[in-house]
Amino acid sequence: MIAVSFLLLLKLTFWNIAVLSQQVSSKVNITIGILGIYCSIPRLKLNGSLITNYNTTYDPKLISTTGYGGFTFFGDAAVALAVEDVNNSSTILPGVNVKIKRFSDCGPFYQAAVTSFTGRPSGFAPSIMSRDLTEVHTDVIGVVGGEISATARASAEALSSYQIPYCSWYSGSPLLDDRNMFPYFFRMFPSSKSGNPIYQFLKANSVRQVGIIYQKDSSNPLLQATEIIDVLQQKHVILGAKVALITKLTPAQISYAINTFNRSTVRYIISVGSADWISKIIYPFGKAGLVGPNYVWITTNNPRPSSGDPLKVYGTDFYSFLSGVILIGPKSPSSYGPQYYLTRSQLNLRTGFSENDTTIFTNSNAAIAYDCTMLVLLGIDKLIKLGNPANLVASRGLQASMNLSLFQDLGYESLKYSIISLTNAGNMKTPFVFSAMSGDSYDSYAIGETDIAATSFTYYSGYGYFFNGSTIAPTDGLPRPFTYTIDTSFGLILVILSCIGLVVSLLVAAFFVFYQRNPIVRVANVPECLLVVAGSLLIQISILLYLTDATSLICQLRMWSFRMGYNIMISTLLCKNLLVSRMFSKNRVRRPELLALGYRLANATLIAVNIFIMVAMDVEQKFHCFLLTL
């Protein structure tokens, strides 16, 4: 009896195993690829770019947490954790088993890649890896990656041509926003484009003129600066000074930059470059008096030398020049939810990383790698739940439907942010925050932020903080146009006097027109008198224009009407008096009508020359502004 029971139990066990195996085997396999800097991790074997022997356990003898090896390893672990969570989920991709393939974008291990990876060998990603992803491993239908921008551009372009979605947790180049070249590329962090946020900050402070200095031989700073310049030009902000310098600064270059800004009236200076490069700029500018209560520096990076104590690298007054420097960057959450800390603990358990250093989770962008993977898999889940067969999705039958629009608004609540969505450029939507540095070491405090679309800027306290904590924003260096209203006593007096002047001028003009045939009046030279009255009318009108808003057109009309009126009066009075002097001179004038005609032609010539000069001045000013914005 016992033997029979044992046999029945054994049979039932094997039957359950068979059923479970059949259920597992009935699941559709979907494969996603991980692109990374695996050449920074030793002892990996490659078949082309595919890694065939990856070890998911952390080995401190092989992997440094401070180099690209640690960055790649923990990013990879976060992707694997997200895949595991989805495979264990009953609501996300039910009936689907997600698998992973790893691809090196830089070939096998080499020591230099551990600390200073720059994309070498440059041809590996666009040739070997891209071919493996698109033509060899055709089961890969989506990709996540932790590539630097230089290699991501080649990967993203190749993957987009095969309609394979690619979510990056590290590539920050603005060039990757190009939807024509990279329609299937997106990323789980905000764009580095800061042109619109900076413009909204300038607009909130009534700033019409800025200067910019940027690092021209580094890809990201150059692209960032170009985008800022383009936006400011479109918004008609005057670039009063523009200087582009290389990374290895020389005293001559710094002197040139300082002289350029000293010759301008710029008070707001935008600096774009690496943290080390900006620190090398701002200190000599501070020594030259270009940092202080009359200046505002806006920078995309914290001015910090790459190594050493800045007080020893530069001088003991270094931090004093950081006071009032405005830092701009995407808004970060003030605190993280429980899922963030749970995922971090699970990652440590999964990798065997038992050290107390929790910063590796942040420094490796592991949270973003997890979110990237979840977003790709949620997008695939959405595609299948729309009624599309999972096996058709797994065989690349619906790649045309897996562009950016599929992933833009999935209602996903990321580890670090609340429910997120992506912009049309493939970046995470988030406000930009402006922070003011205190001048006490690198301390800073947030003073305001843009809205999520960067169409407005709001101070948290209604005002900003500038040099030495001042709440008054410095002027932009341009003269302020005057505008008066009749609500003020000065404006009321202006209106009364101008109206009196207009009435008197019109009465005088009417008098000369009505009595122009009177012999006594004719002696006064009626045409010349009417021209003088016309000049007076133009001056009165120019004064009244100060009662309207100072738009570009109104400012031009103010200057033109006043200059024209003044010059018409002066040239007419001059020619008229010369004519009278000549008529009553000792020498007899034989044909006075010809003499009068000659002086009137001279007067007309003077007025025409004046008009030509005013037009030339306007053209030159606009051309000068155009050159400054190039």
Residue bearing the bigger pLDDT, 370 or 419: 370
Among 120-129, 334-343, 413-422, the range scoring the smallest mean pLDDT is 334-343
Residue 3 within any structural domain of the chain: no
Question: Are 170 and 275 in the same domain?
Answer: no
| Average pLDDT over every residue of 486-495 | 76
Give the pLDDT score at 627: 38
In whole angstroms, what is the distance from residue 498 CA to residue 585 CA? Answer: 39
Name the range with the highest mean pLDDT among 115-119, 209-213, 441-445, 585-589.
Answer: 209-213
Helix (H), strand (E) at residue 153: helix 149-161
* pLDDT of 511 higher than 80: yes
Task: Report the percent of the chain where pLDDT is more than 90.
Answer: 45
Name the range with the highest mean pLDDT among 76-85, 145-154, 191-200, 581-590.
Answer: 76-85
Residue 297 within any structural domain of the chain: yes
pLDDT band at 216 (very low <50, low <70, confident <90, very high): very high
Burial category of 604 from C-beta neighbours within 10 Å (exposed 0-12, middle 13-18, buried 19 and up): middle
Among 10-19, 351-360, 472-481, the range scoring the smallest mean pLDDT is 10-19
Residue type, 53: N
The dihedral region occupied by 145, where left means phi > 0, alpha psi between -120 and 50, and beta the remainder, is: beta
User: How many whole angstroms from its chain centre is CA 538?
Assistant: 45
Structure tokens at 350: 């999964």
* pLDDT of 23 higher than 50: no
Burial category of 10 from C-beta neighbours within 10 Å (exposed 0-12, middle 13-18, buried 19 and up): exposed
In whole angstroms, what is the distance from residue 136 CA to residue 129 CA? Answer: 10
Question: Are 528 and 503 in the same domain?
Answer: yes
Question: Are 167 and 224 in the same domain?
Answer: no
Give the pLDDT score at 20: 42
HEC profile of 40-102 = HCCCCCEECCEECCCCCCCCCCCCCCCCHHHHHHHHHHHHHHHHHHHHCCCCCCCCEEEEEEE
Are 86 and 112 a contacting pair, CB within 8 Å? no
For 316, the domain range is: 195-333+432-469
Question: Are 230 and 325 in the same domain?
Answer: yes
Give the pLDDT score at 47: 95
Give the pLDDT score at 18: 44
Question: Are 66 and 151 in the same domain?
Answer: yes
Strands 185-187 and 140-145: unpaired
* pLDDT of 17 higher than 50: no
Give the pLDDT score at 522: 76
Question: In terms of Cα–Cα distance, which of 127, 134, 125, 230 is closest to 177?
Answer: 230
Question: Are 231 and 255 in the same domain?
Answer: yes
Are 440 and 319 a contacting pair, CB within 8 Å? yes
Predicted confidence (pLDDT) per residue in 71-98, tens digit = 999 999 999 999 999 999 999 999 999 9
| Average pLDDT over every residue of 438-448 | 90
Residue bearing the bigger pLDDT, 381 or 337: 381
Question: Are 395 and 371 in the same domain?
Answer: yes
Question: Are 515 and 612 in the same domain?
Answer: yes
* pLDDT of 256 higher than 90: yes
Looking up residue 297, the CATH number of its domain turns out to be 3.40.50.2300
Question: Are 47 and 161 in the same domain?
Answer: yes
Question: Are 357 and 313 in the same domain?
Answer: no
What contacts 611, CB < 8 A, 6 or more positions away? Answer: 564
Structure tokens at 89: 């989920």
Average pLDDT over the chain reads 85
- The three-class DSSP label of residue 553 is helix
Residue type, 578: L
Residue 482 within any structural domain of the chain: no
* pLDDT of 575 higher than 50: yes
Predicted confidence (pLDDT) per residue in 411-420, tens digit = 998 888 778 8
∠ CA 144-145-147 to the nearest 5 degrees? 165
Burial category of 48 from C-beta neighbours within 10 Å (exposed 0-12, middle 13-18, buried 19 and up): middle
Please give the span between the terminal C-alpha atoms of the chain, in angstroms, as a whole number: 96
Cα distances from 295 to residues 237, 467, 470, 472, in angstroms, run 17, 8, 12, 11
Give the pLDDT score at 168: 94
Residue 477 within any structural domain of the chain: no
Question: Are 315 and 341 in the same domain?
Answer: no
Task: Report the percent of the chain where pLDDT is more than 70.
Answer: 90
Residue 329 within any structural domain of the chain: yes
pLDDT band at 625 (very low <50, low <70, confident <90, very high): very low
Strands 444-450 and 457-459: antiparallel
In whole angstroms, what is the distance from residue 491 CA to residue 473 CA? Answer: 27
Residue 615: what are its φ and ψ, rounded to 5°? -65, -45
* Helix, strand, coil percent values for the chain (each to nearest 5): 50, 15, 35
Q: Say which DSSP state 472 is in.
A: S
Residue bearing the bigger pLDDT, 251 or 343: 251
pLDDT band at 364 (very low <50, low <70, confident <90, very high): confident
Residue 308 within any structural domain of the chain: yes
Name the range with the highest mean pLDDT among 67-76, 341-350, 605-614.
Answer: 67-76
Question: Are 55 and 147 in the same domain?
Answer: yes
Looking at the 3D structure of the chain, how many domains does it have?
3
Give the pLDDT score at 358: 67
The edge-to-edge listing of strands for the beta sheet with 326-330 is 238-245, 209-215, 268-272, 296-299, 326-330, 432-437, 444-450, 457-459
Beta strand residue intervals within 220-278, DSSP E: 238-245, 268-272
Give the pLDDT score at 34: 96
Residue 285 within any structural domain of the chain: yes
